[in-house]
Amino acid sequence: MTNASFAFNVNFADVLKDAGYAITDLTPHGTSGMRLTITTPGGRKGSILISQSDQPDDPTEYLHASIAFVDSDPTYQDMVTLHRAVYGRRRWAYQVFAPTTEHVNLHAHALHLWGRADGRSMMPNFGRFGTI
């Protein structure tokens, strides 16, 4: 990682708590991330991983956030909360559907968000001329 400071939303824990998530553990994860053990307002137990890195062939810093539960997939609202907690209100993040040969998933019930640390869009503005 070329930048020693994390680019994710500094108030991420407050966003999660305001949404009713309980954080029961927060530990470092890898060289530039953290792992949170959580319980949702409905009692589902799971974890959130947040990491930041650059790629060897691209100087751009990227943020990754994932949320996983023991026996169920994250809901749309879980993903909205994760986005707001990690990226804030103004930064772009994406769910990625990679080709089968490039797919990596370490947990059956995990969903991921990816985005640039600077928050810039990685996609064209499809709505600038109206709807698609």
The domain locations on the chain are: 12-116
Contact between 117 and 63 (Cβ < 8 Å): yes
Mean pLDDT, consecutive 10-residue stretches, the chain (132 aa), reads 60 94 92 92 95 83 93 96 95 90 83 92 83 70
Selecting from 3.30.310, 2.30.30, 3.30.1150, 3.40.1350, what CATH number does the domain 12-116 have? 3.30.310
Q: Whole-prediction pTM value?
A: 0.87
